[in-house]
Structure 1
Amino acid sequence: MLLFSCAGLHKTEDPVARSLEYQPWEDTPQPEGSAAYLGLGSYAKVLCTAIFESGREAKEAANNSGKIILAEEYHDEVAYQVNRERQQVVALLGDSLKRSATYHADQGCIIDRPGGLQFEPVRLKSGLPPADTQPWPMGDLVSPEGGYSRSLLDSALAAAFDSSSLTAAFLVIHKGEIILERYREGVDKDTQLESWSMGKSLTATLIGRLIHDGELSLDQKAPVKEWQTPGDPRSEITIRQLLQMSSGLRFPAHRDPEVKVPLAKLAHMYVYCDAINVFEFSVNRPLEFVPGTTGRYRNCDPLTLGYIVRNTVEAGQRNYWTWPQEALFDKIGIRRQLLETDPYGNFILTGFDYGTARNWGRLGLLYLQDGMWNGERLLPEGYAEFVSTPAASWERPIYGGLFWINGTGEINLPPDTYYMAGGGGQRTLICPSLDLVVVRMGHSEGAAFADTSLNQALGFIRQALE
């Protein structure tokens, strides 16, 4: 009897241990394949999108973007073949190891798998009139803005486009109007650029649309069917905790001090490297921490939210692939935003998303306006405050609701600044006190210099606004 009571107490008071009863670690999906094999998959995918969606020259894209996950030891050995007829990129290491990715139009490039896609690609069409017939921000007609020091703005551009940073786009929006804009050679306002984890903030926005429409709520238990077995402690995870990356799910990443394996072999990065069902891979995890107690940057939480978005949208008899365009993008002037999928049709918005600088600027404006657009509320009142408030589960005041926060002053803007951020120095900065949105996009090989050049540029921007 005593043993029975102790077992019951253990099961009640230790959610982490109890989660292993419902999701044993030996039954939890793990990265499969060598680091070379997996890195090659990401290389083929990134290069494929750069060529067939962004319109970049293959050699330039391979040098400046393709190797972001591929282990450095393979950088000089990797080769590629571009099949323009099939719209496919094949990446090779030696004579025996190769991976490929194929372009599927509005679902972008997808890593190839035996048996092909497990869904039928869908063509997307914006319901908006041509952008060149509509004024900003619903269109692309921009009137020159005066009243700013030209020399300071030029200095900002010079800093932003420091040659080492590989900046591709720089956009400044003040009081709702574009006051500064420039692009790297070969890039323009219509170029869909690698955005990486800025897509996490897009996931927060899609969740916000569903909350606004009454289909979800912040503090409800996450509707994940895999967690609903009676007694499963994961059933206590809430939407809020997923947005604040504090679900507690075990999802190894390179930031873990004990991790000694190659980047591509970690769950956090594996979702970019293989032709898997990323939602299934993410939700079938045991706990590492008690939900809501520990904030850490992991792809499993936004991917679980993506799973919830798909299930909620499809439960309402809507088309999952067209819904973002209809429910969000068309409403704020975005005619095309590439949301790439896995072979099962799941959006990989943790990193495989591409947008123009102006698109990200529009999303920044939506938050600057507390979710209002042309008199219509698109996000719940106060949702912008929620995503920009430091999550209590994080040790430092740097993360909110799938948005980063300038709580430690790393960004050269006032403390109320919050932002979307992605690998390679992608940034969409939102500063309410200055009525300012700044977008900086670039290629991953310049990432080490991106923050320095951006902060220098922001210094000149702040002077120009005085």
Structure 2
Amino acid sequence: MKKITILSTLLCTSFFVCSEETDTTLNAYAAGYVANFTCSATFNAGKSKDQIDIDELTGIYPLIADTVKTLQANIDTEHKRVIVDYDIDKQRISVWRPRLGCVDLPVGASLKAATLVQAPFKENLAYQKDDGKPWQTLNGVNKATGNKALDEVIAQAFTRHYGEGARTSAILIASPEAILAEQYKAGFTPETAQRTWSVAKSIGASIIGVAVAQKRLDVTKPAGLESWSHPLDPRGEITLENLLHMASGLDSNKAGNRTDRVYMGGGLVSDTATHTALEVKPGSRWKYANNDTMLALRALRETFNDEASYLRYPYDNLLDKIGMQHTFLESDWQSDFILSSQVWTTSRDLARLGLLHLNNGRWQGEQILPKDWLSYISKPAPAQPPETAPGYGAQWWLYNERFPELPNDTIAARGNRGQYLVIIPSEQLVIVRRGYDLAGLKGFSEHDFTRDVLKALGR
């Protein structure tokens, strides 16, 4: 086994304190990454080993990239699980469940533990063909649109035109009535699920929105986590809205988007995100933090009495209602959804979520989200990112006056490796781009692509 050489420049953020994972932990992370991505890509997306090697296991975190290359995944198709051996006598296990995708067992867990994972669904709707509803018209998969300018823009999206490190896998452009364009790379179909990375945050916010509409949650009130309930704990003042705004004030290390222990290490949301201390007053600072999203969903989780009911909730109350049946919300091994990143879904399902927002939360006569939810998520939070980035609302990015080439009401869900769901209410337009952009190189520019699409459409 090739050991990882720990790079201080990657892990040390201060010359006063340098907190480094051991080689053994980093090897466990690498093995967990291979197990999870192989499991999800195999059983969520139906990908071959060659596709997984090319798409999922290249262009990734430099921290584990070299070690990932040395690991082999043992795919157990009968029991739908993946085992990865590392460090001679250790292994990582990822277990698939219908509709919920793969769950990573903790470091040290044996195969016996695989039978204990919650699996409340029996059916797997994602193996069915996507019927293209609710759109009345579909342009056709990988077909020319009849708009030469738009076809040229889409063709450029599958080159390096919008970013040196861009590797586009799908483009979908839709209005409420029609899919105007739908293009996939070779080997992909409308049913091919792909990891959303941080686009999951906006999906998570939509689930929160459902709970607000049902009066299960109130964004203005404290999140109410049990672990913060001691009267001396100042974290008890953190509101659900603070979490949605990325303004909890909690310590999330220097890079709040690095939650490796949960994402790759088999760690629990309840063991990590809930146990950090305040750094600043809640609401006073914007800081992009995966933990804030996980904590918002943890607040929803604590309104349920049992795991199975919580696991079913997003499906029964949102996904199934709008036809997102090729979507997998993955969780940790104690059934907390990791909705900061670990969702696998298709371009059409993301576009359906976009349509729900264009319809102000209404779907086929039913008000699923609060009527003002689009306005709420699109309102700039009190604390904002630096001026060089898009603005921020409630788990959605805002392309307002900072981006004069786009309509002022443009919002987007954005994820690692070039995942984008762009919603433009004033144009009644949804744009989805999926990719496998390479780490360390300039990724796909969703801003430039959206600008060019609008121009080609004469908007």
- TM-score, normalized by length of structure 2? 0.83
Alignment of 1:224-303 (within 5 A): 224-254=225-255, 268-303=259-294
Instruction: Select 2:450's aligned residue among 442, 452, 458.
Output: 458
Q: Counterpart of 1:188?
A: 189
Over 3 Å counting, the alpha-carbon distance change for 1:63 and 1:445 in structure 2 is farther
Q: Which residue of 2 aligns with 1:20?
A: none
Residue in 2 that maps onto 1:19: none
- Whichever structure has more helix as a proportion of its residues is 1
TM-fit CA distance, 1:112:
2.8
**Residue in 2 aligned with 1:51?**
42
- Letter in structure 1 aligned against 2:137: V
Tell me what 1:23 maps to: none
Q: Which residue of 2 aligns with 1:435?
A: 428
Q: Conserved in 2, the CA contact under 8 Å of 1:279 and 1:303?
A: no
The answer to whether residue 216 in structure 2 is matched with residue 215 in structure 1 is yes
Larger mean Cα displacement after TM superposition, 71-80 or 230-239: 71-80
Gapped regions of structure 2 (runs ≥ 5) = 1-19
**Percent identical residues:** 27
One-letter amino acid of the structure 2 residue matched with residue 174 of structure 1? S
The Cα of 1:303 is off from its aligned counterpart by 0.7
Amino acid at match of 1:376: E
Q: Which amino acid aligns with 2:250?
A: L
Confirm or deny: 8 A CA contact 1:253 1:269 kept in the other structure: no
Instruction: Report the secondary structure of 1:307's partner residue.
Output: helix
Contact 1:156 1:456 in 2 (8 A): no
Residue 281 of structure 1 and its aligned partner are, at CA, apart by: 2.0
Larger radius of gyration: 1
Deviation at 1:208, TM superposition (A): 0.7
**1:304 corresponds to which of 269, 274, 295:** 295
- 1:391-439 residue CA offsets vs partner (Å, 9 max, x unmatched): 1122446211011112465696323211111111100001122211101
Candidates 97, 101, 113, aligned match of 1:104: 97
Matched, 1:142 2:137: yes
Structure 1 position 162 matched with structure 2 position 153? no
- Coordinate RMSD, CA, aligned: 3.1
Which residue identity lines up with residue 166 of structure 2 in the other structure? S
Shift of 1:66: 2.5
Q: How many residues align?
A: 421
Q: How does 1:92-131 map to 2 (within 5 A)?
A: 92=85, 95=88, 98-113=91-106, 114=109, 116-117=113-114, 118-123=116-121, 125=123
- 1:334 aligned onto 2:324: yes
Q: Distance in 2 between matches of 1:168 and 1:241?
A: 34
1:38–1:270 contact (8 Å) kept in structure 2: yes
Q: SS state of the match for residue 392, structure 2?
A: coil
Distance 1:179 1:55 in 2: 26
CA contact (8 A) 1:279 1:306 kept: no
Check conservation: 2:118, 2:308, Cα contact below 8 A: no
1:244 deviates by 0.5
For residues 31 and 299 of structure 1, the distance between their equivalents in structure 2, rounded to whole angstroms, comes to 19
1:418 aligns with 2:419: no
The C-alpha deviation readout for 1:323-347, integer Å capped at 9, x for no partner, is 2111111221222310111111221
Paired amino acid for 1:431? I
The answer (yes or no) to whether the contact 1:313–1:323 under 8 Å persists in 2 is no
Indicate conservation of the 8 Å contact 1:136/1:142, yes or no.
no
Deviation at 1:376, TM superposition (A): 2.2
Q: Which residue of 2 aligns with 1:354?
A: 344
Q: How big is the shift at 1:94?
A: 6.2
8 A contact 1:148–1:464 mirrored in 2? no
Deviation digits for residues 170-229 of structure 1 (CA, Å, limit 9, x no counterpart): 100125421010111111111111111111111111111111111211211112111111
Aligned partners of 2:139 and 2:181 also within 8 Å? no
Query: Which one-letter code corresponds to 1:349 in the other structure?
Result: L
Rounded Cα–Cα distance in structure 2 between residues aligned with 1:148 and 1:101: 41
TM-score normalized with structure 1 length: 0.81
- The one-letter code of the counterpart of 1:247 is S
**Cα pair distance change 1:179/1:343, threshold 3 Å:** same
Q: Given the superposition, is the C-alpha separation of residues 160 and 410 from structure 1 closer, same or farther in structure 2, using an over 3 Å criterion?
A: farther
Q: One-letter code of the match for 1:429?
A: V
8 Å contact kept, 1:155–1:460 = no
Offset at residue 59 of structure 1 (A): 2.7
